[in-house]
């Protein structure tokens, strides 16, 4: 019984730390998924540089503990 209770507590803690909350940004369509341990940005931002070849900045950025581990924005 005690092992089941400990396993349930650990599962609840992991769910709190890893399940993200979705938020929509007002910059052209960027979606941010935030959890306590990680953040994922699904970028679709209007480029503010008028001399840039692309009108939008698109890609995905992944941060774990606030450190960027993946970035393929163009």
Query: In this structure, is residue 63 part of a structural domain?
Result: yes
b/e per residue 27-64 (b: at least 16 CB within 10 A)? eeebebeeeeebbbbebbbeeeeeeeeeeebbeebebe
**Taking 90 as the threshold, does the pLDDT of residue 6 lie above it?**
yes
Query: In this structure, is residue 25 part of a structural domain?
Result: yes
Query: In this structure, is residue 60 part of a structural domain?
Result: yes
Which residue range forms the structural domain that includes residue 39?
Answer: 20-71
Which pLDDT score, from 0 to 100, does residue 48 have?
A: 81
Query: In this structure, is residue 13 part of a structural domain?
Result: no
Query: In this structure, is residue 59 part of a structural domain?
Result: yes
Query: In this structure, is residue 35 part of a structural domain?
Result: yes
Which pLDDT score, from 0 to 100, does residue 45 have?
A: 87
Which pLDDT score, from 0 to 100, does residue 39 have?
A: 97
Question: Is the pTM value of this prediction over 0.75?
Answer: yes
| Total count of domains within the chain | 1
Query: In this structure, is residue 65 part of a structural domain?
Result: yes
Give residue 16's pLDDT band: very low, low, confident or very high (50, 70, 90): very high
């Amino acid at each position: 019984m005690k092992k089941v209770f400990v396993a349930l507590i650990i599962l609840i803690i992991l769910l709190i730390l890893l399940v993200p909350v979705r938020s929509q940004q007002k910059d052209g369509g960027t979606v941010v998924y935030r959890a306590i341990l990680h953040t994922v940005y699904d970028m679709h931002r209007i480029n503010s540089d008028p001399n840039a070849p692309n009108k939008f900045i698109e890609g995905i950025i992944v941060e774990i503990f606030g450190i960027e581990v993946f970035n393929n924005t163009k």
